[in-house]
Structure 1
Amino acid sequence: MSESAGFNIEDLIKVSPLNGGGDEPRVEQLMGKLVRLQKVTLCFIQGKRSLEEGIKDMKSVSDSLQKELATLQTEAYQLEGIHKENEELCRKLQFQCEESEQDSVRQVEQNKKSEELLEQYRCEIQGFKLKHRKLRMKFENQLHQLMEQHKNLQSIFMPQRLPAEVESAENIKSQLLAAEELKLAQLRRLSEELEELKKQKQMGTTATETQEE
């Protein structure tokens, strides 16, 4: 049997006989049961409304959660795409960084070789300068000796031989001057090669700085 509000429903429909044993129920008893029945009905109606409102609220919350879940799934998909793009970008940057490091190593080696070659050319130029200085001193000494000999020969030999001696001295002088010009040309060539190497080194350094930036 169902019970509510301190009584059972059967009590509402069960009518007690009168004291005289008649079939008519007492009015007071029926009125009390009617009032209780109205209260129970009102409670049922309120409970039903509360239950319907609760179901409605739960449905609203469920819809909101479904929408939020869909939004979160969309954001998760977008974040996954961004993460893949960032990984790809990271791989590209790492590859470029490795290439830059390799280029830097090659540039350093090239600069080292250029410096060694420049130092070699400096030594060669210094050697040519020293050799040229010695040749010039030798030439001046020979010229001085030749002039002294010419003076001595002028007093010893006949005047008719003087033009031949002078011509010989001029030839020797021309040969020495030609040798000097040749050494000077070699010295200029080495200087130009040294300047060219300096320019190449500066260009390489500028290219390295540009890559690092």
Structure 2
Amino acid sequence: MAGRPGPSSEESAGALGRAGEAGGQAKSSQKIEDLMEMVKKLQKAGSLEPKVEVLINRINEVQQAKKKASEELGEARTVWETLQKELDSFPYGVHMTWPFYLCPNLMILRLHCQEKESEAQRKQTMLQECKERISALNSQIEEEKNKQRKLRLDFEEQLEDLMGQHKDLWEFHKPEQLALEIDALDSNKEQLLKEEKLVEAKLEDVKHRLCSQFGAKGCSTITEGLFLRSQEAAAVVHLFEEENRKAQELLGAAAQRQEQLQQKCQQLQQKKQRWAQGPSLQSSLGR
């Protein structure tokens, strides 16, 4: 029995040596805590997108550390089970003679296994929290992208509207366009004057023919005489009405054209005012 304790002491010493390696696991725990701190800082800072790859790398490191810790935990359990079997195989009297160097080692191994299990569980919990945080951050990034895209589209629409207003104002204020509008108005005015003179000339001609036919005295009584019932009078009235109708149509068309031009001028003035306010709107959107 004096020769048996030697191997058990060596295995216990080896187990204690591996327990000393547990201090290295504190580094992986520190990495997880650093990862959580970095996620919190990213949430406060708002710049999330460029750090996703860094978070993924940190998670991979944590997973590797967890795997290594699991392997060490398995080794510690194996050693503990081996020592427990050896202890159970000894007689009761031998048990009572080894409490000073074997039982403390078993307690250390048991505590070491419990610590490993707790550490692995804590790392698993922190890893799951990190994954949930990353998923939430990705959702926030996508939402922010959608908002920026919508703002960009709204700005482009407003910019196109301002450019269209500017183009309309430019077209209206071009000297060539103004000259064409003035020429059209002058042409309509001259046409109306010609029509009016033509009607007056025809009326004078009819008047002269009537006076030459009935004499000077007959001219004063043509409204009450046979002339009112003659074909010539009917032709004159019809001609006068026709010319008057044409003149009224031309006058109406000219008035309508003038009204349209006035409305267009007012619209262009309003567009010019909005265009003048456009740079302030664009600068506010830029901010």
Q: What TM-score do the two structures reach when normalised by structure 2?
A: 0.34
Q: Give the TM-score, by structure 1 length.
A: 0.44
